[in-house]
Amino acid sequence: LAMAVALGLSATAQAEMLIGFSQIGSESGWRTSETASIKAEAERRGIDLKFSDAQQKQENQIKAVRSFIAQGVDGILLAPVVETGWDQVLKEAKGAGIPVVLIDRGVDADESLYLTKVASDFVQEGALAAAWLAAETNGVCDVVELQGTVGSSAANDRKEGFESVIGNFPSLSIIRSQSGNFTRSGGKEVMESFLKAENGGKSICAVYAHNDDMALGAVQAIKEAGLKPGEDILVVSIDAVPDIFKAMADGDTNATIELNPHLGGPAFDAIKTAKSGREVPKWIKANGPLYLPDTAAEEYKKRSS
């Protein structure tokens, strides 16, 4: 025991860096993978990671960041649940000389208030989803949209990117749009209400879901309404979590755009780089490709083993 304690102590003493991570919550499969990946990456690097789960509440994130500042951490990873309302706490971190890396979502604040953002280009993801759908339907499609968390950059920008492309197709439009909060249950519930409002869903050509979990919830709702998802109603979403590949292989959904959840490495690298006095770009992009059913079974195997 004495030896274990001694080892434990020396491990702490030698910790590479002390980093605070304010995570949003665990609303989706993607986020659960991201949390696990960032924790594992910290451990691999000998970083002492203080983890805080905000349960979807910005006020909890602000408290967590303040507590990280009080602990004198070397850096902070912040996955901001919504875009606005961060100026004050970011100024506090900056005042304390602690670099903040925005992780997976962005904020609506002056760039000088944070070190960098490690995230994908959500506008591009939305545009890619729309381009696929336009090609698949020859530009004729009534779409229902399942939006992510209200006020999040991921929802705002995925909507904007999708709309920017469908704007070129006069017969391709969003007929209903509502937030399903990035959750499976939210996606199912909102899809049920869309199906009801559209006389059982016969007139709905496709679902555009801002993440895979909501798409999977929608698939369930479509089946329960007696329609065939993937055929009667096309389904396109974003994230590329293992479960969506299973659904695609089963013919229930039609396309997903990958967002790599392994964002810890580049975030920790950025903090190290900044500590050594070197420049860090303001946006480290993490965009992925669009996957279709043809490779879904193989991808599912790779990702679920």
Applying CB under 6 A, which residues contact ligand GYE? 27-28, 30-31, 104-105, 154, 182, 211, 238-239, 259
Q: Which is nearer to ligand GYE, 78 or 166 (CB)?
A: 78
Closest distance to ligand GYE from the beta carbon of 183 (Å): 8
Q: Which is nearer to ligand GYE, 31 or 159 (CB)?
A: 31
Closest distance to ligand GYE from the beta carbon of 211 (Å): 4
Count of Cβ atoms closer than 10 Å to residue 266 Cβ: 17
Q: Which is nearer to ligand GYE, 82 or 233 (CB)?
A: 82
Give residues with Cβ within 8 angstroms of 11, minimum separation 6. Answer: 46
Closest distance to ligand GYE from the beta carbon of 212 (Å): 7
Closest distance to ligand GYE from the beta carbon of 171 (Å): 28
Q: Which is nearer to ligand GYE, 255 or 259 (CB)?
A: 259
Nearest one of 103, 122, 100, 96 to 113, comparing CA atoms = 100
In the three-class reduction of DSSP (H, G, I as helix; E, B as strand; rest coil), residue 224 is classed as helix
- 114 by Cβ neighbours in 10 Å (0-12 / 13-18 / 19+) ranks as buried
Q: Which is nearer to ligand GYE, 128 or 259 (CB)?
A: 259
Closest distance to ligand GYE from the beta carbon of 61 (Å): 13
Euclidean distance between the first and the last CA atom of the chain, given in angstroms as a whole number: 36
The tokens describing 215, both together, are 């798409």
In the three-class reduction of DSSP (H, G, I as helix; E, B as strand; rest coil), residue 245 is classed as helix
